[in-house]
Amino acid sequence: MEWVSDFIAFLYSVGYSRIEAQQSAEKEWGEHVKEFYKGSMIADTLSWFTGYYSNIEGHDLLRHMTYLGGASTYGQKLKEVKEEDYRGSNFS
């Protein structure tokens, strides 16, 4: 909650009204999330939980939709992004 309010305050302070994640940051985050799936029982599970929907065209592959790194690791990642002036973001 605090991170979000700090982020909104940052946007207002510099006059931005729009943010978009950079593709490189999206890819980096996706790889980070995938790392936690390695060795887990859910890693290769074909279910709604992994975004696998065989009855919907184009949804027949696994997706890493849930963050398995824990709250502490997630909080540390948020802190790093903030400390680096919200790296991985395009502002306008």
Predicted confidence (pLDDT) at residue 70 exceeds the cutoff of 90? yes
* Whole-prediction pTM: 0.76
3-state secondary structure of 12: helix
Average pLDDT over residues 34-51: 80
Q: In the structure, what pLDDT confidence band is assigned to residue 42 with cuts at 50, 70 and 90? A: confident
Q: What is the largest CA-CA distance in the chain?
A: 47
Residue whose entry in the numeric block shows the structure tokens 């802190």? 79
Residue 78, C-beta contacts closer than 8 angstroms, at least 6 positions apart: 3
Of 32, 88, 39, 21, the closest CA to residue 64 belongs to 32
